[in-house]
Chains A and B, each alone.
Chain A
Amino acid sequence: MQKFIKTVTLASAFLTIAGAAAAEFPEKPIKVIVGYSAGGGTDVMARTVAPFLEKYLGEGSSIVVKNMPGASGQIGVTEAANAEKDGYTLGTYNLPGMMARTLDRKADYDADSFTYLANVVNDPNVIVTSKKSGLDTFEKLLAEAKANPRAVTVGMSSLGGDDHFLLTKLQKMTDTEFTIVPFRGSAPARTALMGGHVAMGVLNVSEVSAFKEEINILGIALAERSEFAPDVPTFKEQGIDLINGSMRGFIAPAGLPDDVRAKLLDAFNKLEGDAEFKAAMKATANPVEVVTGDDFKALNAEILDLAKAVWAETPWR
């Protein structure tokens, strides 16, 4: 009898293993950790992407978004980096923020902690000025900055973010100097700009498209014009090769099984061609730019280098 039980146990154990190997990923819900509160920009992106990802991962797949806000997204991304490497825990990822965090404070992850799945959003920077400032062209702004170093006050969301990096690039390229006023987020920075409390602002295009009449938008940091603001010239058109933005995407912990990684990448790759997806992203003010797998990894490395250079030259804390 005992032998019989042993046999049955062994056999069923074997069957379970065989079953697991044969089953297709995903066979249970996939958790996506968002390092910001529900309703924030990254959260809205994750929730907008989720149904399309489910569609491309196949029948019965489901995505559960979990918010773990705190420490500018660091708590959530740390959790994702240290999760099981089975593809059932993914995380959202923000550039340059997540790499900047590894420089300006102690972080329990680095650039090698992740399997890079896809960047989905690229929200390019724009330079705007207050109507009261009288600086209504990029040319006038630069002239003023050159004539009176540090006289132009610049409202932006925070130090060590994309806004800050854009300004650093601009100062270097044009040999100018501005006074940074770091607000707690873009919305208060934009309001200070509209009230004329600061002269200039560095924001993202999604944050200004509803405010075209209230502020001067001088240029956009993209290679080509954006569909979100087609009448805004690029800086390239104005003679300076200034390209920068805030990126949001998805990562998994490093070392995912190859088949799982391939399946996820495949699903993310299909997003780009989905018109319905693009419409949904546009409605939530998210400019889409899908970069997957190794290209995403390379993009991350590039931004880390930039962040290191900025940190070495002008540490922000």
Chain B
Amino acid sequence: MYTDLIQSLPNVIAWTNLAALVIGVLAGIVVGAMPGLSATMAISVLVPFTFGLEPLVALGLMAGIYNGAMYGGAIPAVLLRIPGTPAAVATTFDGYPLAQRGEGGYALQVAVVSSAIGGVASAFALMLLAPPLSRVTLLFGPAEVFWVAVFGLCSIIFLLGGNIVKGLISACFGVFVSVIGSDPIFGNDRFTFDQLELLDGIHIVILLVGLYALPPVIDLLESPLKTDGGASEHLGTQPIWRTLPRMKGYWKTWLRSSLIGIWIGILPGAGGSMAAFMSYNEARRASKNPEEWGKGEGEGVAASETANNADTASALIPALTLGIPGTAVAAIMLGGLLIHGLQPGPMLFRNNPDIVFGFMWQFLFGAILLVFLGGSLATNSFAKLLKLPRPLLGSVIIILMLIGVYSIHGRMFDVYLMLGFGAIGYVMDKLKFPLPPVVLGLILGGFAEENLRLALRIGRGDWAVLFQNTTSLILVALTLAVITGPMIKKRLLKAKASNGKA
């Protein structure tokens, strides 16, 4: 198998394939940076055009876009507190405060280095471990996936910040939105009001753009005369060799977040946003000064950005080997593979090794290219955008949002929906309701419901099905550890303190 890996290398470095990769990464950064446009959409627009292309050119474009977009989402997240993609929500927590302090340049450098590290780790996992890791996916039936979702939902508790009641209300709102649409088992309509457009539920990008992108823009337009943009105009950009030493303490976070991203990637259904949230949460728990997080801690940006790139290639592990995509992007890529006559499954590695392994190399190179293409070039051009007068900047962002949301399904309905969420987001923002729990509630709420119901059908109504195997029990234990961890730690510290006195 590893000889196939090496033999496929010369094909990948043919200039057409490399050019496709470069174009893909650049296009991905741009698409990711625009609120409303996502990698999923860019690739689904691209797939039909790749019909006549050489397989590796087509796949190179896709691999490039995927990696580029996952970083691109960080740019507006840091500079404007608007996540360019759902997976960049956690990047706003510390990225934006950094930018407000005049360290936006540093935050973006952390983002690009972390994205590249996550991407490289993910590509290695795909190259070296695809077949054995696909076995891991098989261990996760509905019951186990349900526990993964519960584990993720528990991390909401740590994202609530000050006001737990407000946080829980936000989370409940997210869960409510996840319920809209056809019921995942029987297909009954729920809260669709006979609107065909609501049958498939509400697309996360519509919610995200309305909730996150609209309120800052309204703020921007409310005080049009202030000169400093949404973030500081002052990026404080320094050459990367000067900022790298500042990141030297991040290696633990890079390692941990890469593993979390890879792990979430190979689980069916969970995507980059969940990886980013969980890795942010874990990094903060491990930090010596968790109280600094959310106020501009570079390590927070590192955690989120490493993880959301680390799930890119690993999401393709079950996709290629079992035909089951870990993320929406992976699902569309599967279609792209099929168009080129590549049937996913165990036989793929035997039938088309040159292309499959070539595709894996492209993921690796795409991740490395990020450092060169995503660094100064992209950052500086977007920073210029921020120097625009506020009313103009606000209008540009609104137009991008409208285009992005309209192009998901090509209909105005979604645009109105987005504006509605924008109004809700604005009010929530003013009343200081936290927004991240809404996103997590939407993603994980639906995920938990569907898998719980599937598991109960498998168990024919017996709840014991949820505790029947080792994987489930391990996940339950992990969840309990996360919930009780802080309390136990506090107690131990207290005990130590009183021992010291004695």
Query: A residues near B, CB below 8 A?
Result: 37-40, 43-44, 47, 65, 67-72, 74-75, 78, 104-106, 150, 153, 158-160, 179-184, 187-188, 190-192, 194-198, 207, 209-211, 213-214, 283-285, 316-317
> In the complex, given contacts A285-B338, A316-B186, what are 15 additional A-B residue pairs having Cβ atoms less than 8 angstroms apart?
A37-B332, A37-B335, A39-B339, A47-B339, A65-B48, A67-B48, A181-B454, A190-B322, A191-B268, A207-B323, A209-B343, A285-B343, A317-B183, A317-B187, A317-B188
Task: Report yes or no: B318 in contact with A70, Cβ–Cβ below 8 A.
Answer: no
Enumerate B266-294 residues with CB–CB distance to A below 8 Å: 268-269
In the complex, what's the smallest C-beta–C-beta distance from A283 to chain B, in angstroms?
4
Complex: how many Å from CA A169 to CA B33?
51
Report chain B residues within 8 Å CB of A78.
196
Report chain B residues within 8 Å CB of A74.
196, 199
In the complex, what's the smallest C-beta–C-beta distance from A246 to chain B, in angstroms?
16
B186 — nearest CB in chain A belongs to which residue? A317
Complex: how many Å from CA A183 to CA B458?
11
Query: B residues near A, CB below 8 A?
Result: 44-45, 47-48, 51, 137-143, 183-189, 194, 196-197, 199-200, 268-269, 318, 322-325, 331-336, 338-339, 341, 343-348, 409-410, 450, 454, 457-458, 460
Complex: how many Å from CA A71 to CA B409?
12
Task: Report yes or no: A179 in contact with B457, Cβ–Cβ below 8 A.
Answer: yes
Task: Report yes or no: B338 in contact with A210, Cβ–Cβ below 8 A.
Answer: no
| Candidates A105, A197, A207; contact of B458 at CB < 8 Å | A197
Task: Report yes or no: B324 in contact with A39, Cβ–Cβ below 8 A.
Answer: no
| Candidates B47, B345, B409; contact of A210 at CB < 8 Å | B345
Complex: how many Å from CA A194 to CA B325?
15
Contact of A39 with B457 at beta-carbon distance under 8 Å, contacts A195-B138, A211-B345 already known: no
Task: Report yes or no: A180 in contact with B457, Cβ–Cβ below 8 A.
Answer: yes
In the complex, what's the smallest C-beta–C-beta distance from B199 to chain A, in angstroms?
4
Complex: how many Å from CA A196 to CA B458?
11
Task: Report yes or no: A197 in contact with B141, Cβ–Cβ below 8 A.
Answer: yes
Report chain A residues within 8 Å CB of B457.
153, 179-181
A189 — nearest CB in chain B belongs to which residue? B324
Task: Report yes or no: B334 in contact with A190, Cβ–Cβ below 8 A.
Answer: no
Report chain A residues within 8 Å CB of B344.
210
In the complex, what's the smallest C-beta–C-beta distance from B45 to chain A, in angstroms?
8
17 A-B contact pairs sorted by A residue (CB < 8 Å): A37-B332, A38-B44, A38-B45, A39-B335, A40-B335, A68-B410, A75-B196, A106-B194, A187-B322, A187-B324, A192-B141, A195-B138, A196-B138, A196-B141, A197-B142, A210-B347, A211-B345
| Candidates A39, A153, A184, A316; contact of B336 at CB < 8 Å | A39
Complex: how many Å from CA A284 to CA B187?
29
Residue among B186, B187, B343 with the highest chain A CB neighbour number at 10 A:
B187
Task: Report yes or no: A211 in contact with B346, Cβ–Cβ below 8 A.
Answer: yes
Contact of A159 with B186 at beta-carbon distance under 8 Å, contacts A69-B409, A194-B138 already known: yes
Report chain B residues within 8 Å CB of A180.
457
Report chain B residues within 8 Å CB of A198.
458
Complex: how many Å from CA A164 to CA B321?
26
In the complex, what's the smallest C-beta–C-beta distance from B244 to chain A, in angstroms?
40
In the complex, what's the smallest C-beta–C-beta distance from A69 to chain B, in angstroms?
7
In the complex, what's the smallest C-beta–C-beta distance from A272 to chain B, in angstroms?
21
Contact of A210 with B323 at beta-carbon distance under 8 Å, contacts A39-B338, A284-B341, A285-B343 already known: yes
Complex: how many Å from CA A75 to CA B197?
8
Report chain A residues within 8 Å CB of B199.
70-72, 74
In the complex, what's the smallest C-beta–C-beta distance from A165 to chain B, in angstroms?
15
Task: Report yes or no: A71 in contact with B200, Cβ–Cβ below 8 A.
Answer: yes
In the complex, what's the smallest C-beta–C-beta distance from B330 to chain A, in angstroms?
11
Task: Report yes or no: B268 in contact with A39, Cβ–Cβ below 8 A.
Answer: no
In the complex, what's the smallest C-beta–C-beta distance from B281 to chain A, in angstroms?
27
In the complex, what's the smallest C-beta–C-beta distance from B196 to chain A, in angstroms?
5
| Candidates A43, A70, A195; contact of B141 at CB < 8 Å | A195
B409 — nearest CB in chain A belongs to which residue? A70
Closest 5 CB pairs of A and B: A39-B335, A210-B345, A197-B141, A195-B138, A71-B199
B465 — nearest CB in chain A belongs to which residue? A197
Complex: how many Å from CA A278 to CA B336?
20
Complex: how many Å from CA A187 to CA B188?
22
In the complex, what's the smallest C-beta–C-beta distance from A294 to chain B, in angstroms?
30
Report chain A residues within 8 Å CB of B346.
210-211, 213-214
Task: Report yes or no: B140 in contact with A195, Cβ–Cβ below 8 A.
Answer: yes
Complex: how many Å from CA A158 to CA B318?
21
Report chain A residues within 8 Å CB of B338.
39, 44, 284-285
Task: Report yes or no: A39 in contact with B410, Cβ–Cβ below 8 A.
Answer: no
Contact of A191 with B334 at beta-carbon distance under 8 Å, contacts A159-B186, A210-B346, A316-B187 already known: no
Complex: how many Å from CA A285 to CA B334?
13
A38 — nearest CB in chain B belongs to which residue? B47
In the complex, what's the smallest C-beta–C-beta distance from B203 to chain A, in angstroms?
10
A160 — nearest CB in chain B belongs to which residue? B187
| Candidates B45, B194, B323, B410; contact of A190 at CB < 8 Å | B323
Task: Report yes or no: A70 in contact with B194, Cβ–Cβ below 8 A.
Answer: no
Complex: how many Å from CA A40 to CA B334?
8
